[in-house]
Amino acid sequence: MNAWRAAALLCVVWLPALAAGGQALDGATRENWLHHGGTQSAWRYSALDQINAENVSRLVPAWVFQTGDYVDGLQSTPIVIDGVMYLSTNSNHVFALNAATGEQLWRYEYKGQPTAGFWVQFQPHNRGVAVEAGRVFLGTFDNYVVALDAATGGELWKVNVDNTAQCGCMIRSAPLLADGKVIVGVTGGDGAFRGYITAFDARNGRLVWRFHVIPGPGEKGNETWKGDSWKFGGGAPWSIGSYDPELKLLYWGTGNAAPDFYSGDRVVTPRRTDAGINLYTASVVALDVRTGKLRWYHQEVPNDVWDYDSAYEIVLFDAEIDGRPRKLLLHMNKSGVTYVQDRVNGKVLNAFVVPEASNWIGGVTRDGKLVDRREPAVGEMRNFCPSGFMGAKSWNQMAYSPRTRWFYTPTLETCMNIESMPQKPVEGGFFVGGTGGVVLPPGRDNYSHIDAFDPLSGERKWSYPYRYVLLASILATAGDLVFTGNPEGFFFALDARSGRELWRFQTGAGHRGSSVTYAVESRQFIATPTGWGSIIGGMAAGLFPGEGEKWRKGSAVVVFALPEGE
C-alpha cells in the first residue's frame, strides 16, 4: 500500500461529513459502491478524490472484463464490496470479479423460461444486482427474485413475483435493500397490468408486503378510476426507489397510467384535478418500509396522456431553506419537470422544467402545478416535447454532489408525435391507446446535454452540449469530476464546477449503463459498463440515419485508474 494514498483516502473520508455540517444526510460512497445509487440516497457520488480535476487527464485503463453476454448491450450498475465487483448482464448472468484485477471469482447463469411471443416487452434487460450480508440479489426476466451466496454464486432462494406471460411484466431494475428486505418493482407500464412493489425478507425470501400502485375497490384512491379501469391501469414502478433509514420511509416513483395516450376509459368525469386522477400513477410515493403502507404521495402528472412516468430515481438530500435545515428529495419526471420536496411530508418546495424543448405545458408553478396542458387527441397526430418514449432523460440516473450542492443530469431534447386511439385491454398485452413516433425538434444542432442544476433555485449552472442522445448515468466525485459516456463509445470526465471536458477515452462500444467508483488497497478505480443496446437505444440510433448505426454493441466493463505508483 502506498502511504501517501492511504493518507489521502483517510482525509477524504472525513471531509464531506464536515462540509455537510455533521448531521446532514451523508449519501456519499467511499471504498465500496454498496447500492445501485451508490447509497440508498441515490446520489451516485463518491467521497474518493484521489482522481481529481488536476490529474484525471492521466487516467489509464487498469483492466477490462468481457461478459460474453452480448444480447443487447450492458445497462448494469456494478456493486463493489470489499474488493469484489458484482455485475449482472441482460441475460441474467451474474459475475463476481476481483475489483482490482478483473479476475473472475465466480459466474452464475440464471436458467429461466424466456417468454416467447411478446417481443418488445420481454426482451431481457438487467440493470444490476443488490448485495448485502453475504447475499447477492437478482431480479429476473421471468419475474423471480433470486438470492445467491456472495462467496460462491450458489442459489440460496428464489421466489416468483408474478406470472410473466400473463402479466406482461418482468424485473429489469436492480432490487433495493432496505430494513432487511429486498424490494422490487416490475415493468409493464405500457401494458394492461396493475403495478405493484413487493418486499421479501432478505434472509429467506418470504413475502413481507406488497403495495399496489392502484388501490383496489374500497381503498382510498380507487374512486379516481372509471369503472373497472383500475384492474389494468398500469402504474408499473419499473425502476428503483430510495430509502431514509431514520424516517423508515421508502420513496418510489410509479409508472404512467395505461393506456398511455388515451384516458377516456379511465378518467372519472367530471375530472377532479385537486385530489389526483388515476392514483397513484405518475407519482412519487412514500411507504413505511415495515408495512408497505402509504404515508404520502405526490402525483406529478394527474391524468397522464403522454407516457410521462415518474419511475426514475429519487435523490434524498438535506439542505437549509430559509435558515431551517430540511430533509428533502429531488425527482425528475420523465417530462423533465423536476421537483424538490420535503421528504417528511411530501410538500413541494420547488418545481422547474429542465429540457429546452418542452411544449406539453406552458410551465409549472413553484409548488408543482402544471400550467396550460396540451393533450393528444383522437383522430389527429399532434407534436409534444419532450418525447414520452425517451423522456427528458431515460432511466439512467443523475448524480448529486454535496460539494457543489448541484445535481448533474443527462437531458434529452427529443419530441414525439402522438395520436390517441381507444383500446380494449387484454391482460398482459400492450395497452398504449394510440400511436406515435419520436422525432427531433427542429432548429437545433445538439439533441442532449449534461446539465448542472442548483435544485433549490432551479438555476442551470452550466450545460455541456452533445450532438446525439446521452443514455448513460452520471457519476460525481469529490475530485470535482463528473463522468459519463456517450453512444459513440467515449467515456469522459467533466469539471464539476465548469462543465469543461478534461479527459476522454474510447472504450470501443456505446454507453448505456452506469459507471461507479471505488477503492481497493487505497487505489481509486473508475469502472464503466460499455455496450450499446436497448429498445430506446435502437430508437435513438434511428433518429440519426447514417450515423446511429455506427454506435457499437458489446458488453464489457472498462476500469480506469491513475498509473501504478503515481
**Contact positions toward another protein, by CB under 8 A?**
116-121, 154-163, 165-168, 190, 194, 204-207, 210, 216, 231, 260-261, 381, 389, 417, 419, 421, 423, 426-430, 432-438, 535, 538-539, 542
Tell me if residue 342 is catalytic.
no
Contact at 8 Å (CB) between 343 and 327? Answer: yes
- Least CB distance from residue 419 to another protein, whole Å? 5
Please tell me which residue in 244, 260, 307, 451 is annotated as part of the active site: 307
Give SS3 for 349: strand
For the chain, helix (H) and strand (E) counts, in that order, are 3, 38
Give SS3 for 133: coil
Kindly state the helix (H) or strand (E) to which residue 326 belongs, with its residue range. Answer: strand 324-332
Buried b / exposed e along 68-88 (16+ C-beta atoms within 10 A): ebbbbbbbbbbbbbebbbbbb
Contact at 8 Å (CB) between 70 and 58? Answer: no
Is the Cβ of residue 419 or residue 480 nearer to another protein in the bound state?
A: 419
Cα separation, 206 vs 118, in Å, equals: 30
DSSP 8-state assignment for residue 30: -
Taking CA atoms, 297 is separated from 242, 344, 385, 516, in Å, by: 14, 11, 26, 31
Q: DSSP readout, 193-240?
A: -B-EEEEEETTT--EEEEEESS--TTSTTGGGS-TTGGGG-B----S-
- Least CB distance from residue 432 to another protein, whole Å? 4
Cα separation, 314 vs 540, in Å, equals: 25
Is the Cβ of residue 155 or residue 454 nearer to another protein in the bound state?
A: 155
Contact at 8 Å (CB) between 310 and 301? Answer: yes
Contact at 8 Å (CB) between 344 and 334? Answer: no
Is the Cβ of residue 38 or residue 436 nearer to another protein in the bound state?
A: 436
Is the Cβ of residue 204 or residue 457 nearer to another protein in the bound state?
A: 204
Is the Cβ of residue 115 or residue 448 nearer to another protein in the bound state?
A: 115
- Least CB distance from residue 429 to another protein, whole Å? 4
Q: How far is CA 89 from the centre of its chain?
A: 16
Cα separation, 28 vs 130, in Å, equals: 17
Is the Cβ of residue 101 or residue 113 nearer to another protein in the bound state?
A: 113
- Least CB distance from residue 158 to another protein, whole Å? 5
Active site residues: 307
